Chains A and B, each alone.
Chain A
Amino acid sequence: MNLKRFDALNEGQTAHLERRFSATDIQEWCDLCQLDQAWSGVPEPLIAGLFSCLLGEDLPGHGTNYLKQAMTFHATAEADEPLQASVSIRRLRRDKALVNLATTCTGRDGRLICDGEALVLFQH
């Protein structure tokens, strides 16, 4: 187990991204799912995809093995609403190379869309 990159992580470390989903993006998701119905707002898997994107690309980054995600949805994100997603390290378990992170997505004026927790394995 190579923990060189794991050991560079710190509790409290946070990564963010900003994103808007257009009506075209939402329709593309419906097409991808072969879903023959109009969707009101941003589908939850696209919100979840923001966390997945941050975990895989940024914190911890490439090589992340996504084990678990829990989410509570507080409000529906609207098309074109500016969204900010963040992941923040809550706990590092070096013996198992596990990282627990808090995951949050907020919308316009900071309204809470989704919060939850992720668990990833980060070893090389």
Chain B
Amino acid sequence: MIDATIPCEQTFVLTQEDFDRFARLSGDHNPIHVDPEFSARTSFGQTVSHGMLLFSVVRSLLAQNWPGSTLKNQNLIFPAPAYAGKTLELVVEEQRRDGPQLYLKATITGPDGETCLAGECQLTLPAREAS
């Protein structure tokens, strides 16, 4: 459990329905995320993902790989927009480990190699069970 395979990777596609669901959950109904007609007239040309929907994908991969761990710190940057219907790739790499503290780097890359999310986090791993 603690020695999850690193780096771990996940390829995924978000849909407009995912953007709409995250808008309802977060209360963030900004038209750039939920209104395709409005978004077509912006410089993006179409709706873009909420940054925190991308963080949701990262967080759930962390939970799957390190069950029972606690997220202490998270830094995020959102250099490029992530669009619906495009294949995105998430890679999580280990930076260092200090006892139960695990320092990770996460990157979500879009179809043209653009970085949609880059983040660093500190996870506290659960105490090892006595064996």
Measured CB to CB, the residues of A under 8 A from B are 17, 19, 25, 28-30, 32-35, 37, 39, 43-46, 48-50, 52-53, 56-57, 62, 66-73, 76
Given A35-B64, A52-B26, A53-B27, decide whether A67 and B78 contact each other with a Cβ distance below 8 A: yes
A-side contacts of B57, CB under 8 Å: 33
Partner of B52 from A45, A68, A73 at Cβ < 8 Å: A45
B-side contacts of A67, CB under 8 Å: 77-78
A-side contacts of B72, CB under 8 Å: 72-73
Contact B26 A62 (CB under 8 A): no
CB distance from B47 to the nearest CB of A (A): 13
Give the docked Cα–Cα distance between A33 and B60 (Å).
7
Partner of B18 from A32, A50, A70 at Cβ < 8 Å: A32
CB distance from B46 to the nearest CB of A (A): 16
Chain B 47-61 interface mask (CB, 8 Å, partner A; 1/0): 000111101110110
CB distance from A5 to the nearest CB of B (A): 15
CB distance from B118 to the nearest CB of A (A): 10
Given A69-B75, A69-B76, decide whether A45 and B28 contact each other with a Cβ distance below 8 A: no
CB distance from A59 to the nearest CB of B (A): 13
Contact B71 A73 (CB under 8 A): yes
The residue among A19, A43, A45, A68 with the most chain B CB atoms within 10 A of its own CB is: A45
The residue among A34, A67, A71 with the most chain B CB atoms within 10 A of its own CB is: A71
A-side contacts of B25, CB under 8 Å: 25, 28-29, 32, 46, 49
Contact B55 A70 (CB under 8 A): no
Contact B77 A68 (CB under 8 A): yes
Give the docked Cα–Cα distance between A88 and B74 (Å).
19
